[in-house]
Structure 1
C-alpha cells in the first residue's frame, strides 16, 4: 500500500499561532492513505508540509533543508551535491541567488550556491541554477492528490472548500514559478498512476499561453473561495490569490508585448493578448488597494525626519504582521542546529556586516550602479561624477548625504552604524570598510596586515575579503537585517518574516499596468504614493522608465529585478555589461577618504545574458527521459 510522508515539523515555519513546543516534535512516521485522508489533523499537516515544499515563495529558493540527509522534496538527481539541496535551500543561501544573478549585486564569498559562472556565461543546456522542475512536480503531485482526496474526507464542507483552494493556490504558485523560467511545461492536474496512459506518464509541454491562462483562471476562482482572513496567519487568503493574479497577469502582459512567440508556441505569447493581461493586473491591483484591509506602512514616520523615514522603511521588513504585508512566510522558534528544523533562515549571517561566526557576511555585495540608482531626496539623479569623486577626499556625510531614505534602509557601507562593529577610525559600532591607508608622507599601504601608528591599513569589514584577495564593491545589503540577530552561532538564526506579497509591490503593479493601458494619471498617482511614503520628491510626470526605476529602488533585493528584466526583455543589455564598485582608502592625516572606482568589479567573470536565457533549458537529462519534451530555443 502506498505511503505518505507527513512532516509536522514544517508547521512551525508557517504559522506563528503554533506553540514553540510544536517545533520540537520529531517527524511523524509514515502513514497509509487510509489513515491520512480520514484524519483531519493529518490532512491539515499534509497541506502545511506543501507550504514548506514551495520554497520558491521565498526569493525563489528552490529546495528545503530539513536534515543533513536531505529533504523528502529534494527530488533533483544532483541532490547529493550540497550546492543543490543545501546551498539552494530557503533556509540557507537560496534566497540570495536571484539577487546575485541580476544587476543588483555580485557574489563575494561564503556560499555553496553562488551562480557567478552562470551569470558570466549564461545557463547551459545542463541547467544547474535556480531550477524549479523536479521539486516542482513532486509538490504538484502532492497538491493534486490533496485536491482529489479532500472532497471525500471527513472535513466539514466549508473547511474542505478552503483547504482545497489553498492547495490550488500553492499549485498555481508552483506553475507560476515554472512558466516564468521555462515557458510552457506539462500542465498536470491529476495524479499519474503506474497504469496511466503514456500521455500522462510522458506528457508533452503545454503552450506558454495555456500555463498563464491556467494560473490566472485558478487565482481568480480561488480568490472568491478563500476567506479574507484565515484562522491561522500565514495561510493563503483571497488577497494572496489576488496578489498572485496581479503579479502573473503583469508578467504575461509584458511577455506578450515585449517577447517573441515561437512557432511551436511553447515559448512566448501572442502580442494581441497584452492589453487583456494588463487589464487583469490593473483590476486585481485596484481591488487590493481599494478594498483590501492593507495600507502602506507609515507607523514610524515623524514628519520630515530622515532617520524616522529610514527606520520606517526598515520596519516594513522587521515588524511582523504590519499593515502592508499581504502574505508572509513566518520565521521563528529554534534554529536548525539545536533541532528546530526549517523554522528559521540565514539572511542575517549571509548579509550582515561583521562580526559574524566565520568573520565573513556580505555574501552578495551591491553594485555601485544600484547605489547610483537611488536618487537624492530632492529628486536629483543619484549618478556620481566619477572623475570628480576620485579627485578629492571625502567624509561619508559629504559623499552620501541627502540620498533617498530608502538608500540607507536598503544599503550599508563605510560609516554605517552597526552594533558591535570593531572600533577603528570611526570608533565603536560603526562599519569600517576602508581598504588602504594613506600615511602622513603620502605612502599608500594596502597589505591587509599593515598598519600605521596603530591604524590598520584595512578596516575590519574589509579584512576577510582583503586577506583572500577578493575585491568587494564597498556595499552590503541592509534590507531585512535584524539588528538583534545573533550572528555568532551558525546559519539559520534569522527570525524576520519574509514578505511574499506586500502592498508596495501592488501599487507598482497597478502603476505599470495602468501606464500600459494608457492611464498615465493612475500610474503617476500610484508611484507618488510610494515616493511620498519614502520621503522623496514626488514626480510631476510619468513614463515607463520612471515606473521601472521606481520598482528597482522600492523592491530592491526582494526577488523582482531579475524577473522584471527578463519579462521586459531588457536582460540582454542590462545584464550584459561590466559593473562597478568602490574602494575607500583612509587618509590618516584628515581621516577622510580617497575613493577609487573599479569599473570591472566582476573581474574575468564579466556578466553576460545570452538571448536563450530568457527561458531556462529543459535540460538534456529531462528530454532524454521523456522524448515528448521539446528543448527551448538555442540550447545545444
Structure 2
C-alpha cells in the first residue's frame, strides 16, 4: 500500500544532532557520538540526509500543526470552537512553538549536511561517488529552500542562517532577526544549485518516492518568485520594479521548464464519464488507495499529478517518535476526519460550497464536480468498497459536530454540515485508526503549478498562455472555459480547485499586500460567523515563540502586534 518510508535509523539521527531543551535552536551533543566523528561514510551521509526529510513530516508541521492552525485560520473552514477561528494564539502557544521547532529542525539538518559534504572530495568518502555527492547536496538544498520559504512567509524575519554560520550554544545571545532578502536570495541559490543534479519524476527509483526531484525544485522556485512579488515587493511599494519583473520572469521560466518537461499531467476522468469518474479523477490525488469507478481505476498518491508530497505510512515504527505517537503516519486523521473515533475538529464553511459554480456543470451534476470531491455531503459513502466496515453514509451531526449550524450558517439544500473529504476518503479504518493516518500530504501538485503560472502571466501581461492553463484546469471536470484572465478568475479557480488543501490562508495573505486584489479582511473574517479578531499589520504573520526571545537576551525582536 505504501511506497516510501524513511528508515527507523534515520529518525534516531535526530537525537545525535539536537537537544530536547526548550530552546529549539540550540544544538547540543547529548550522545557520545560527535558531529565531527559522524560525517565519514556514505551510510553516515545517507542517514543524515534521511533525517532532513523528517522535519516536514513532523507533527509540528504537516503531521498536524500546519492544518490545525492554517486551515482553522482561513475563511473556508470552521474550527470546532471559536478559538482558532478568531486567531486566539499567542507567543506562548504550544502550537506555534511546535511549528517553530519543526521548521528549524528542517533548516539545521540540511545545513549541517551541506557544511560537512560540500568541500569534501567524494573519493575520500567510503562508498560515495561524485554523482551521489552532487545528488545528496541537491536534495539537502531543495529541502532547505522549502524551510526558508516557510520561515519567511510564516514569521517574516525570524532567525536566518546557512551552512556557514550555523548557531551553537555559545552564539545564542547574539541571534537576532534575519533580513528578509537573505531568506529569498538563499532560497533561490539553493534551488538553482540543486536543479541540475536532481532526477526527474520518471527517473526516480520507486524505492525513493518522496525524495526531491527536478520538478519539485522547479515548482518551488516558481512558487517562491510568485510569493516574493507580494511578500517582498508589493508589500513595500516596489511591485513592478525591474527586480520584481526579473524575479517574476525567473518564476515563469521555472514553471515553463516543469510544464514543458512532459513529466506531469492532470489526472483526467476516463470514458465513459460517470459521476464517480469525475470525482475520482480529482480525489485520487488525496487518497492512499487507488479509486475504482464502474469502469476505470484512478491512481492514488505519487501519481503523475504529484509534484511534491510528504510521505507517510501506516507501518508502526517501534520506539519511534516522529511524526506521531510511535507511528509513521500523521495525526491529521485523528483530529479532522469523519471517522467516529476522530476529534472532528474541522468543518467546511457553507461559503465554500456556495463558491462552486452551478452554470455549465456536466451531467449528472448540478454543481461543479469538484464540490463533491472536496467535501462530504449528507448521503455520501465514506468508502468505495461495499464490504468495508466504513461503507457508511456521511450524516451531519454524526460525522461532524454541526459547527456551521451552531453558528447560524445554513445551506440552501438543507445539509447541516460539510466534512473535509480530501485526505479523508476512503475513511481509514485499520488497527491504529485514526491515529496512524497513512495519507501523504501534497505540498504542490500540477494543477497548482498551472494556476500559479496563470497568475504570473497575469502579473507580467498575459500572452494567452496563462488563460489557457487556467482553462486546462477547468477542462478536467468539463466546466466551461472562462473568457478572460482576471484576478477574480484566478481567485475563484484557486478557491475551488485547491479547496481544503491548505493553500487558502497563504493566498489571502499574499494577495492582501497588493490592493489590486481587493482583499478586505473585515469582510472576509468579520462576517456573520463572528470571526472578528483579524488585525491588519499583525495577523499576516505568526508570533515568534516567547521562549526564543527571552533566550536570546532581547536581540531577537517580536513581530508587530504580538
- Answer yes or no: same fold by TM over 0.5: yes
Counterpart Cα distance in 2 of 1:249 and 1:284: 9
Among 37, 44, 54, the alignment partner of 1:42 is 44
Counterpart Cα distance in 2 of 1:35 and 1:94: 35
Counterpart Cα distance in 1 of 2:446 and 2:462: 20
Residue 358 (structure 2) pairs with residue 376 (structure 1): yes
Task: Identify the residue that residue 251 of structure 2 maps to in structure 1.
Answer: 281
CA 1:371–1:27: 2 relative to 1, 3 Å: same
Residue 268 (structure 2) pairs with residue 316 (structure 1): no
Residue 191 (structure 2) pairs with residue 219 (structure 1): yes
| 1:293-442 equivalence runs, <5 A | 293-298=263-268, 300-302=269-271, 304-318=273-287, 319-335=300-316, 341-354=326-339, 356-357=340-341, 360-376=342-358, 378=360, 402-419=366-383, 429-433=392-396
Relative to its length, the structure with more helix (as a share) is: 2
Counterpart Cα distance in 1 of 2:5 and 2:539: 42
Task: Identify the residue that residue 563 of structure 1 maps to in structure 2.
Answer: 506
Counterpart Cα distance in 2 of 1:234 and 1:405: 29
Counterpart Cα distance in 2 of 1:572 and 1:275: 28
**8 Å CA contact retained: 2:156, 2:541:** yes
**8 Å CA contact retained: 1:335, 1:492:** no
Q: CA deviation at 1:144?
A: 1.8
Task: Identify the residue that residue 155 of structure 2 maps to in structure 1.
Answer: 182
Counterpart Cα distance in 2 of 1:556 and 1:571: 20
Task: Identify the residue that residue 420 of structure 2 maps to in structure 1.
Answer: 477
CA 1:17–1:174: 2 relative to 1, 3 Å: closer
Among 416, 429, 437, the alignment partner of 1:486 is 429
Task: Identify the residue that residue 555 of structure 2 maps to in structure 1.
Answer: 628
Among 542, 549, 554, the alignment partner of 1:616 is 542
Counterpart Cα distance in 2 of 1:287 and 1:531: 22
Note the alpha carbon deviations across 1:363-408, whole angstroms, 9 max, x for none. 210101111111125169xxxxxxxxxxxxxxxx9xx951111100
**8 Å CA contact retained: 2:356, 2:367:** yes
Unaligned runs of 5+ in 2: 16-30, 288-299, 386-390, 410-415, 513-518
Residue 488 (structure 2) pairs with residue 515 (structure 1): no
Counterpart Cα distance in 1 of 2:92 and 2:332: 29
TM-score, normalized by length of structure 2?
0.78
Task: Identify the residue that residue 133 of structure 1 maps to in structure 2.
Answer: 100
**8 Å CA contact retained: 1:184, 1:210:** no
Q: CA deviation at 1:629?
A: 2.6
TM-score, normalized by length of structure 1?
0.70
Query: Greater CA radius of gyration, 1 or 2?
Result: 1
Note the alpha carbon deviations across 1:30-58, whole angstroms, 9 max, x for none. 54435531232232112111211234xxx
Task: Identify the residue that residue 501 of structure 1 maps to in structure 2.
Answer: 444
Unaligned runs of 5+ in 1: 1-11, 56-62, 65-87, 110-115, 262-267, 381-396, 422-427, 434-458, 579-598
**8 Å CA contact retained: 1:179, 1:208:** yes
Among 64, 71, 79, the alignment partner of 1:107 is 79
> Which range is displaced more, 217-226 or 126-135?
126-135
Q: Secondary structure at the match of 2:419?
A: strand
> Which range is displaced more, 488-497 or 245-254?
488-497
Q: CA deviation at 1:27?
A: 4.6
Counterpart Cα distance in 2 of 1:25 and 1:617: 31
**8 Å CA contact retained: 2:361, 2:367:** no
Task: Identify the residue that residue 485 of structure 2 maps to in structure 1.
Answer: 542
Task: Identify the residue that residue 526 of structure 2 maps to in structure 1.
Answer: 577
Q: CA deviation at 1:209?
A: 2.4
Q: CA deviation at 1:255?
A: 2.5
Among 253, 264, 267, the alignment partner of 2:229 is 253
CA 1:577–1:401: 2 relative to 1, 3 Å: farther
Q: CA deviation at 1:272?
A: 5.6
